[in-house]
Structure 1
Amino acid sequence: MSPQFVGRARELGVLGDALTRARSGASTTVLVGGEAGVGKTRLMKEFAERAGDALVLVGGCLELGTEGLPFAPFTAVLRRLVREMGRDGVAALVPGGTTRGLARLLPEFGEPDKDGAEARARLFEQVLGLLERLAEERTVVLVVEDAHWADRSTRDLLSFLVRYQRTGARLLIVVTYRTDELHRNHPLRPLLAELGRVEWVTRTELRRLTRREVVKLSASIMEHAPSPAEIDLVYARSEGNPLFVEALLSEAGGGDAMPESLRDLLLAGVERLPEETQELLRVASAGGQRIEHDLLAAVSGLDESALSRALRPAVAGNVLVVDGEGYAFRHALIREALHDDLLPGEHTRLHTRYAEALERDLSILPAPRGAIELAHHWHAAHDSAQALVSAWGAAAAARKSTAYDEQLRMLSRVLELWDQVPGAAARIGVDRVQVLRQTSTVAHLAGEYERSIALAGAGLAEVDPEADPIMAAVLLRQRGLTRYDLGRPNYLDDLRRAAALVPEEPTKLRAQVLETLSRMLHRPESWPEKIATAQLAMEISHAVGDGPTEAHALITLAWARCRFTDMETHIEAFARARSVAGRHGAYNAVMRCAISETDALEGAGLHERAAQVARDGVAEAERYGLARTSGTFLSINLAEPLVSLGRWDEALQVVERALELSPPPPYRASLQGFAADIALARGDLDRAETLLADSRVVLARGSFRDQTVLPHLRREIELLRARGDVAGAVEAAARGLDELDLSSSSRYLWPVLVSFAELEAPFTGTLRELAAGLAVEGALQEAYRRTFAALTSGGAGSAEAWGAAVAAWTGLGQPYSEARCLVGAARAALAAGDRQGAATGLGRARELAAGLAAAPLLGQIDALARRAGIGGSGDEAGGQPLGLTARELEVLREVTRGHSNKEIAQALFISVKTVSVHVSNILAKLGVATRGEAAATAHRLRLFDGDTA
């Protein structure tokens, strides 16, 4: 290896800039590509040495045959941290204080927590949380090398870390990969394309060295200036690849003899070594890019003295490098050349020796690597029987690490080898249908939904439901779940068939099938069946001691029975479900309970209680390591009641914090929806448009339920109306009315009908007919019904209808809705000649709207007051000129001085965002369009004549 680092100034600059950004708390990732031998590892080494006080953690993906080992780079990083900090030191940094998720990577952390879809999420959360906690002390650089060998599980975790980097965490992620390995169907290609679209991700590619750089590199290696002839030869043959330059110079010995092929070039250095060393290197090549010392000793059959004697020339010759407790080939191309050079008989014998060594002592390698390597070696040795048995064992080991893709690959291998191995069922203890069932389940967990359905179908084709109703029911339940996730029809048919097949005696399976069926019944006409099925599932699961299923059934029951009345009874039901889930460590059920309870409380109009339960749920999600999944969903359920309560700035903080965690797109759309509601109410229409545009993209990608689709429709109508495009709003409402599913939830239909009614469109009669047949469940829906009635009433009863609507919103503590209805009531009072009543109502509406900084509504109130000639709500409101608050007068004073929002914020010790809200309110109250007009009005009215500042 050259003692001098040549070239790469541009690439080091890219990495240095990224490190600077990371130090400042900006989310930062760099993807570094380059062909084999171009110097990616050397670049990372040089960068690490120049990273100052940053903690540089390096983990490489390991090739095993044609596949990588699951989570290999992260296991390596974690093992290093444990060596340096101790197990307890690392555990103290894990969010939530529990390391059972990390136990899936290192056995030092004890037994893993229970399997299930949430286990993988917890593992991912804990890895990222650990890195972020480390970054609180000093900047952390995570380097993942050789990502072209990454298995699916490693790619998934890597994607998670890159996407969910928290703003403010001083974390830089660097990923290296071989560009020449990325054929058209390589699984890393779509991930690189996907990550390349993330705004904080930078891609760079190492080019080959220029001729001048080859001269410099050659001089460093040869310790004298090379002749032009030597450079011509080296540059022509190496084409600027640093590895080939080094190998050519090493082999040429200053003369003209050059290897004829790349293979010869890579093996030339090996062939100069002693024969016993060459033999050991051939043995090592079958073990992969990196091999543990104990395993190499076991396979080679050499004692410690002989092993050391054979190893030393390989290390001295820079073919092998010491790597922790083992050895790694200096470059993967050398290992590949050695392995490819093995004769067929040698290949089989070597892999057999590896398999036999691992059979004798699987603990030589950490789990699940040992079991997976064992399966690899038996497969490479062409021993079908042993390959089948070891693949079955490797699948079980991969399951403990939530490496679902690796587990799926091993189970698929079992199925591939099944017909080649006589007595396969006896060898692994299960029959083919059971393997198909398990493979279908794992395919579902791995996101291979189509494959899961196909595997379940294949299992069903081999099962006689009359002879084995239980297995048929299991396969039907799995296919039904997967069809539901894919949005495919017939999922209920599968689940109902499964429920009919399971014997009626109480069993865990019967409880699970019934609970699944009850949870998937969503249509109103299915509500009686939903409740009866959930009740039966709850009773059976309780009887057989299946706590998680009992908790889920209790949640379904509590939710299905909730009609937003008698809420204390429902709250007790949720508390019971939470208690059962907690006792059994069913994290998924605990989170689902919090989500369902907050949704029920908000639907009943109990906003304060909904907010508190949601806030507690967010904290629980963080403790469980589910902040970016369940935690962000619960942030949706926290933002909604805060919006209802008029605590808009607090709601925006919740939304911003949740969005910083980069939640899944549907969650992001819901969070942005509440931010859009506030932007619409405060008159920030451009912001509202941006937020709704993002939501449109998400909604266009799939089908969503009422709670997502109907609020979005309402916001689109309100945005058009706010921009003055009443005709466009009416047209959009008419289209929405034609497409409206009348069996949708009344909770989400009522707000839409109110928005439609505010348009005073020609279809008001149709709206009245719809409203007449729409259910009213709870106080919140009653408030919407009263508002709708007031909007569509008119005549003598209008004032009374508006009064009823105002009273409903006042009772619920929703200031914005109350203020809007107060304006409607004031108009009705003026029409009836009640000026005093109108003035009182407008005064109260102004007070509420000002507290919310709802500039458009303030403008409506003042305009109505001016037209009616009513005092007390316009120019003299609150004892301040023009209805300005004391703070707004301070802001206006600064505006008249020509100060920017930033300068005003500094002068008044408030945020720039708060200044912007105050300026919008001032413009609305003064009835002007610009800051200049506002200043001119203040000068004209001589508001600040006494100000000598």
Structure 2
Amino acid sequence: MGPSVLCPALVGRENESAVLHAHLDAAGHGHGGVVLLVGEAGAGKTRLARATVDAARADGLRLLAGRAVPGPSPTPYRPLTEAFLAAFRSAPPPTARELHGFGRQVARLVPPWSGAPAGAEDSPVVMGEAVVRLLRPDGPCVILLEDLHWADAETVAVLDHLADALADEAVLVLGTTRPGGAVDEILERLPGRDRSSVLAVGPLDEAGVDRMLAACLATPGPPPEVRAFLRRHAEGVPLLVEELLAGLVAAGELRFADAGWVSAGELTPRVPASLRESVARRLADLDPVARRVVAAAAMLGRRFDWELVPGIAEVDGRAVVEGLRAAVGRQLVAVDGDGFAFRHALTREAVLDDLLPPERRALAQRAWPTVERAHPGLPGTACELASELAEAAGAPVEAAARLVTSARRALDDGAVASAEVTARRARRLARGGAAVTVDVDELAVDVLVAAGKPREALALGPDLAARLPGDPDRRAALLLTLARAALAAGEVDEAARLVDEARQEEHAPLLARLDAVAAHVALEQGRQDDAAALAHRAVAAAVDAAQPAVECEALEVLGRVQREFRSGRAARWLARAADVAERAGLATWHLRAQQELALITWKADDLRATRALAARYGALTTVAVMDLSLADLALGDFDRENALEAARSCAEASRRYGLATGPVAHLWLANAHALVGDDVAMEAAVADALAPDPSDPRILGDLYGRVLVTRAFAVDDLDALRGLLDTMMTHVRRADPGRSVFPGRALWALVHTAEDDDLGVDARAEFAEVADQVGLDVFRCAHLAAEAVARGRAGAPAEAAALMERARPAGRTFDGGLGLLQWVQLLVARAAIRDGWGDPVTWLRESEAFFAAVGLERTARRCRLLMGEAGAPVPRRGRGASAVPEPLRALGVTSRETDVLGLVALGLSTPEIGARLHLSPRTVERHLGNLFARTGVHDRGALGEVARRHGVQGG
């Protein structure tokens, strides 16, 4: 076969190698990322990448490798699947806890692991997270992904995610790509994250070409005419150096003799000017049978199944073997394990380009049925290959039919971008085939709706519906899909028209779906009664027809209807939807119902349970939303530690996955810092919250009405409240009312009621309307408190006191609202002392105990000062060692009195208590007298019960 003349060493890439080795070292220490080698075909990207992974292996890093392949409709995630399948084929499915909920994604990466439960969320971001979590236990590794200019859109999106997600992981993704390919968009973004993440691989200079020639021929002194030849014609492209040398060797113009390499004759006039010409020359040197074998193999791809070649080339097996032997000798084909592959993707392309159109069509006409017989059902990439061959065979309609199958598979797998590319190609090929065109357009509607392009779907609808008059069920199903598209596009009237048109078909299997979609339409039109009636009918029909997805859809409408009616029954419908979905294995509907349910009940336990469910399903967006809600809830109760934990988790997930929850997560972080008056941390978090949109009224409203108001209370700057709250309202009135409840509005109404000459009549009226719309108990209580202040200022103390008793937080268990009501109670008490009504001292004692317990020391001090203004004894902290339970603190019990109380519960006598606490008996008796007075009990036994009830223990 002769020498290979392949270059055994990497030449002229010292700078690039140094950068890549630095990335390898960083990955080995837990700081990975994505690095792309960019260069024209044949520039040496692959050999540079291979040298890098060889170094990685030597350093003990694990290697995974995959590549993209050319084709008009690339298979979603193909490079990643190839890499992970090779690495994990013989491994058992993973059981790591952090992979719970990622069964669908890991099964796509490693198909033998199929059978894992589907997740509720499927996207390139989730796939990227599966990649990270699957590799994390195995230590440092490198993923080599080649030819990414041919990659599918989903793989490119995963790469974009990994560029950020791997920053603190021991994984380096090394990719090769030509410019102008699928990854161009992230090529622009990557340098902004790390300038060394995109490395241009350009041509070698003349000295580099000389060094490469010497390495290829394994001699320091190659023939000078060959060196001049390569300098002139290889253009510094390493692949061309090798290919041109291979052409010379194959033609006998360069040969190895006893004395070394010698050339025969003048090379310049006959030297090919490009790789295509070089390949054509080598093909011409083959006999006709061998040429047919090589051409037939090229129809099957760069790596091909040689056993299929005889039928395509119309020769026997022996002729195929001899033809491949000759192709290997001419350095067109290389042995690849137990099979064969063209030496380079460009070599295969050159072979195909060398064929005349009739030759290519004839080969495709034989290859197409051969592939379909060899792969029944056309699994995996065989479907795309069959489509490509059908098109080349002059059967575009048949090609389109196979693309429909391919796109449906991609859509079912959640690879919407690839499905859209494939569907658009199918539409182009299907022209002229009436039946297939209907299938293709129907597919296109489904894909466009899934891709979030409802208006494009609606544009296809009328013509397609007109072509389906003979199939009522199919036509009605299409109309319902279009109705959902119209709802998504905000065209409610068009959705209603489409539902009415679909209803004219009146076919039983679709009645439940019809009513469910019609219920959504009615709800959007504000017809709650009609929506409820339609949804009830849809539920009944769905139950009879065993259509759980439709049942869930209708139950969701019932939940939304009851929520708009501010009825507690909304939770009942949503709980039923969650139960139906769970029993039917409908992950998306199950999580959707649980999320709505948790947001309605607004209880920490429900939010945490939904978060756990979302994590199990791999629904990362929902996990972030639940964290955001848990932070909000904790802030409402001034629970700083839990608020920080949840907000940080949401902020990190938002950054990592590019979620829209990021600004609010940073705002809640700012609020948590404001609780302890940490201005530096608060201001940094506020800057992060405002970074995406400094004029966002949603963020600005809660910044002034919540974060800065929290700071004002924390540092006891109550005089700043009015200005902050008025600024808040300017933003609140610009904001979407559905994006936040803006709890600061309660304080705004109260401040204006307490301070304005007209008793804040307009502010109270505006807030009354808000309280009614929002339907939260905490808002209703705040509204009653504002009315109490107004009555007190108007000279009706009895009415004011009665209203305040209804508004007080004492004994209430508001989830996420108790802190706000304590602020309200503090402000009401201040107004009541000034206006002379109610029992402000009792209220202040309760609030002082609450603020002291949550660490708002200055606010607690303000309560004590106000008690002094009211002429009441000011509670002292005492000098005891015991923490005072909040209910006892509200009664004025000090820390030293709590020490005494705990020892009373142990049954100790007065002298024994004095000896234990180093107090005189008289001082102990004084503390006991205070305890009897504050708790309202009259003997030591009853005091012991008080201690046990509040968890006070003697030491």
TM superposition score normalised by structure 1: 0.77
The separation in 1 between residues aligned to 2:699 and 2:448, in whole angstroms, is: 34
The separation in 1 between residues aligned to 2:763 and 2:202, in whole angstroms, is: 66
Paired position in structure 2 for 1:54: 61
The C-alpha deviation readout for 1:748-780, integer Å capped at 9, x for no partner, is 266545446557898944322223334163523
CA-CA distance at 1:262 after TM superposition: 1.3
1:214 aligns with 2:209: yes
The separation in 1 between residues aligned to 2:313 and 2:95, in whole angstroms, is: 38
Contact 1:787 1:805 in 2 (8 A): yes
Paired position in structure 2 for 1:582: 582
Which residue, out of 218, 241, 250, partners 1:245?
A: 241
Distance 1:207 1:135, change over 3 A: same
Distance 1:298 1:496, change over 3 A: same
Give runs of aligned pairs for residues 13-412 of structure 1, distance below 5 A. 13-26=18-31, 28-51=33-56, 52-64=59-71, 66-85=72-91, 88-89=92-93, 95-96=99-100, 99=103, 108-110=112-114, 118=120, 120-121=122-123, 125=126, 128-129=129-130, 131-162=132-163, 165=165, 168-179=168-179, 182=180, 187-194=182-189, 197=192, 202-226=197-221, 231=227, 233-251=229-247, 253=254, 255=263, 257-258=267-268, 259-264=271-276, 266-267=278-279, 270-271=282-283, 274-275=286-287, 276-296=289-309, 298-315=311-328, 318-323=331-336, 326-363=339-376, 367-412=379-424
User: SS where residue 342 of structure 1 aligns?
Assistant: coil
Which residue, out of 767, 774, 780, partners 1:771?
A: 767
Contact 2:121 2:618 in 1 (8 A): no
1:672 aligns with 2:666: yes
Which ranges of structure 2 fall in alignment gaps of 5 or more residues?
1-5, 249-253, 255-261, 883-955
Contact 1:521 1:527 in 2 (8 A): yes
Contact 2:247 2:282 in 1 (8 A): no
CA-CA distance at 1:173 after TM superposition: 2.2
Give runs of aligned pairs for residues 396-435 of structure 1, distance below 5 A. 396-421=408-433, 424-425=434-435, 432-433=437-438, 435=440
1:649 aligns with 2:641: yes
The amino acid that maps onto 1:456 is G
The amino acid that maps onto 1:242 is P
The separation in 2 between residues aligned to 1:60 and 1:480, in whole angstroms, is: 41
1:443 aligns with 2:453: no
The amino acid that maps onto 2:52 is F
**How many percent identity over aligned positions?**
22
The separation in 1 between residues aligned to 2:626 and 2:45, in whole angstroms, is: 42
Contact 1:506 1:543 in 2 (8 A): no
Contact 2:465 2:478 in 1 (8 A): yes
Contact 2:825 2:844 in 1 (8 A): yes
User: SS where residue 809 of structure 2 aligns?
Assistant: helix
The separation in 2 between residues aligned to 1:692 and 1:865, in whole angstroms, is: 35
User: SS where residue 177 of structure 2 aligns?
Assistant: strand
Paired position in structure 2 for 1:2: 7
The C-alpha deviation readout for 1:294-318, integer Å capped at 9, x for no partner, is 4445534555544333334544655
User: SS where residue 534 of structure 1 aligns?
Assistant: helix
1:530 aligns with 2:536: no
Which residue, out of 453, 459, 479, partners 1:454?
A: 459
The C-alpha deviation readout for 1:217-262, integer Å capped at 9, x for no partner, is 2221222335777655533433332222333444553656252421
CA-CA distance at 1:148 after TM superposition: 0.8
Contact 2:667 2:707 in 1 (8 A): no
The separation in 2 between residues aligned to 1:144 and 1:561, in whole angstroms, is: 52
The C-alpha deviation readout for 1:598-645, integer Å capped at 9, x for no partner, is 11111xxxxxxx22222222222232232x233323333333333334
User: SS where residue 30 of structure 1 aligns?
Assistant: strand
The separation in 2 between residues aligned to 1:15 and 1:508, in whole angstroms, is: 60
CA-CA distance at 1:587 after TM superposition: 0.5
The C-alpha deviation readout for 1:412-436, integer Å capped at 9, x for no partner, is 4554444524xx42xx6xxx55542
Distance 1:201 1:547, change over 3 A: farther
Contact 1:473 1:499 in 2 (8 A): no
Paired position in structure 2 for 1:823: 826
The separation in 2 between residues aligned to 1:873 and 1:269, in whole angstroms, is: 101
Paired position in structure 2 for 1:812: 814
Contact 2:38 2:178 in 1 (8 A): yes
CA-CA distance at 1:596 after TM superposition: 0.7
Contact 1:563 1:778 in 2 (8 A): no
Which ranges of structure 1 fall in alignment gaps of 5 or more residues?
603-609, 702-707, 881-949
The separation in 2 between residues aligned to 1:533 and 1:694, in whole angstroms, is: 45
CA-CA distance at 1:3 after TM superposition: 1.1
CA-CA distance at 1:178 after TM superposition: 0.5
Paired position in structure 2 for 1:620: 613
The separation in 2 between residues aligned to 1:770 and 1:130, in whole angstroms, is: 52
CA-CA distance at 1:861 after TM superposition: 5.9
The separation in 1 between residues aligned to 2:674 and 2:613, in whole angstroms, is: 32
The C-alpha deviation readout for 1:63-115, integer Å capped at 9, x for no partner, is 02x45333221221232134342xx345779923884555556663456978x
User: SS where residue 144 of structure 2 aligns?
Assistant: strand
Contact 2:295 2:351 in 1 (8 A): yes
The separation in 2 between residues aligned to 1:333 and 1:282, in whole angstroms, is: 14
User: SS where residue 174 of structure 1 aligns?
Assistant: strand
Tell me the C-alpha RMSD between the 2 structures: 4.3
Paired position in structure 1 for 2:593: 593
The separation in 1 between residues aligned to 2:37 and 2:693, in whole angstroms, is: 34
Q: Which moved more, 1:786-795 or 1:373-382?
A: 786-795
Paired position in structure 1 for 2:559: 558
The separation in 2 between residues aligned to 1:622 and 1:39, in whole angstroms, is: 43
Distance 1:16 1:808, change over 3 A: farther
The amino acid that maps onto 1:713 is G
The C-alpha deviation readout for 1:270-302, integer Å capped at 9, x for no partner, is 348643544433322233333234444553455
The amino acid that maps onto 1:390 is R
The separation in 2 between residues aligned to 1:61 and 1:400, in whole angstroms, is: 21
The separation in 2 between residues aligned to 1:212 and 1:63, in whole angstroms, is: 34
Paired position in structure 1 for 2:546: 545
Contact 1:67 1:149 in 2 (8 A): no
Distance 1:782 1:621, change over 3 A: same
Give runs of aligned pairs for residues 485-524 of structure 1, distance below 5 A. 485=488, 488-495=489-496, 497-499=498-500, 501-502=502-503, 507-519=508-520
TM superposition score normalised by structure 2: 0.77
User: SS where residue 38 of structure 1 aligns?
Assistant: coil
The amino acid that maps onto 2:99 is P
CA-CA distance at 1:157 after TM superposition: 4.0
The amino acid that maps onto 1:31 is L
CA-CA distance at 1:787 after TM superposition: 5.1
Distance 1:595 1:317, change over 3 A: same
Which residue, out of 603, 608, 632, partners 1:640?
A: 632
Paired position in structure 2 for 1:939: none
Distance 1:601 1:842, change over 3 A: same
CA-CA distance at 1:373 after TM superposition: 1.0
Contact 1:299 1:357 in 2 (8 A): yes
The separation in 2 between residues aligned to 1:804 and 1:27, in whole angstroms, is: 59
Q: Which moved more, 1:126-135 or 1:535-544?
A: 126-135
Which residue, out of 618, 621, 635, partners 1:629?
A: 621
The amino acid that maps onto 1:654 is A
Q: Which moved more, 1:95-104 or 1:331-340?
A: 95-104
The amino acid that maps onto 1:816 is G
Contact 1:26 1:170 in 2 (8 A): yes
Paired position in structure 1 for 2:944: none
Count of residue pairs the alignment pairs up: 840
Give runs of aligned pairs for residues 910-921 of structure 1, distance below 5 A. none
User: SS where residue 391 of structure 2 aligns?
Assistant: helix
The separation in 2 between residues aligned to 1:746 and 1:76, in whole angstroms, is: 44
The separation in 2 between residues aligned to 1:711 and 1:523, in whole angstroms, is: 27
The C-alpha deviation readout for 1:384-407, integer Å capped at 9, x for no partner, is 343344334444444454444444
